[in-house]
Copies of this chain bind each other. A is one copy, B any other.
Amino acid sequence: MRHLIDITDLSVEEIEGLMDTAADIVAHPENYRDRCRYKKLATLFFEPSTRTRLSFEAAMMELGGQVLGIPEASSSSAAKGESMADTAKIVSGYADIIAMRHPLEGAALAAAGKADVPVINAGDGGHCHPTQTLTDLFAIRRELGRLTHLTVGLCGDLKYGRTVHSLIAAMSRYPGVTFVSVSPEELRLPDYVTAAMEKAGIPHRETADLEGALPELDVLYMTRIQRERFADPAVYERLKDSYVLDTDKMKKAKETMCVLHPLPRVNEIHPAVDADPRAAYFRQAVGGKYMRMALILKLLAEREAPASLPQGEPAPHRCRNPRCITRVEQALPLLQKDGRCIYCETII
């Protein structure tokens, strides 16, 4: 049985296969609309995320399946002190596949270790959100026809933005990709991300100037800058407008550039940009539904495949990351791999 916890659980070939399936669903939805008849998806959302939850639910329904779940933690047994792993185990007796979101890092992996059905990580704290990355890749392929030989701009909060880190990791596996990261000094990409790019020989340039970077970009991936990330509010006030995409700035961009955003946006893309044909973020969101359909089909078809979970060795002590699932779920086996906690990947 396979799960999807981290985007690297899938090979490039598998991701291509998922995109091919998704494209075929777009072209021939009637061929897929009874494929999951008599199957059930459980959405276990221990923190709310409307867009992601509805995307999974719509995906399962468009495959002819049914959906049950916990729309948010307050309606769950968590209030009675039940462990999340027990909840996942029990729910796997009620559904054929689980999509799970949780505020703690490593939660989906912990659930997968206990569940009897495939678990899809729909976001575990600031750690992973692999179906967002699948959504992003499919959007680029649909908008531009390829994932190779592209200059990809990443704009906004690059320090804390997990979707950005995950997209870099995924696109680094394609030839000819150049990254341009655009952010204020305070929110630059973490050193370990830039070091990994350098080591892998991926061209990368950093700038604080969105307008200057725009003309060369094939893709502009926007993210939100949050006021609370800045120690000095005055710095935020001075900087914020530079990272707001508006119709003026769009005039600097190529005719073929596409603008992506993981959504929800707040004010980092002006609503007037929505009418620009290069604004692809709403199409991107719909595409995410098709990728989730492809993923559900794949995982249900591979129920008999060997488990895809990482194997670890006993860790010498409990992980010290305060947001690691092992801080709360006391019964989880404490495991490490390559010196890192297998749940949250923090150095032990």
Contacts and interface: CB of A to CB of B under 8 A. Distances in A.
B61 A271 contact: no
A74 to B, nearest CB: 7
A87 B53 CA distance: 13
Copy number in the complex reads: 3
Q: Which of A45, A66, A83 has the most CB of B within 10 A?
A: A66
Given A33-B38, A282-B89, A72 B74 contact: yes
A215 interface: no
B90 A74 contact: no
Interface in A157-176: none
A42 interface: yes
B75 A50 contact: yes
B67 A50 contact: no
Interface string A274-290: 00000000100110010
Contact of A67 (B68, B75, B331): B68
A82 B38 CA distance: 35
A51 interface: yes
A94 B265 contact: no
Nearest to A38: B33
A93 B282 contact: yes
B331 A271 contact: yes
A68 B81 CA distance: 27
Contacts of A126: none
A66 B61 contact: yes
Given A49-B77, A54-B42, A86 B263 contact: yes
Contacts of A55: 94
A68 B61 CA distance: 9
A190 interface: no
Interface in A26-45: 33, 38, 40, 42, 45
A187 interface: no
A120 to B, nearest CB: 17
Contact of A58 (B54, B58, B68, B77): B68
B71 A71 contact: yes
A264 B86 contact: yes
A49 B80 CA distance: 9
22 contacts: A42-B54, A45-B75, A48-B74, A48-B75, A50-B75, A54-B68, A54-B69, A54-B70, A54-B90, A54-B94, A57-B68, A58-B68, A58-B93, A58-B94, A61-B68, A66-B66, A72-B75, A80-B266, A82-B263, A82-B265, A93-B285, A94-B289
Given A42-B54, A270-B331, 15 more contacts: A33-B38, A40-B61, A40-B62, A48-B76, A51-B90, A54-B68, A61-B68, A66-B66, A67-B68, A80-B266, A81-B266, A82-B263, A86-B263, A86-B264, A94-B289
Interface of A: 33, 38, 40, 42, 45, 48-51, 54-55, 57-58, 61-62, 66-72, 74-77, 79-83, 85-87, 89-91, 93-95, 263-266, 270-271, 282, 285-286, 289, 331
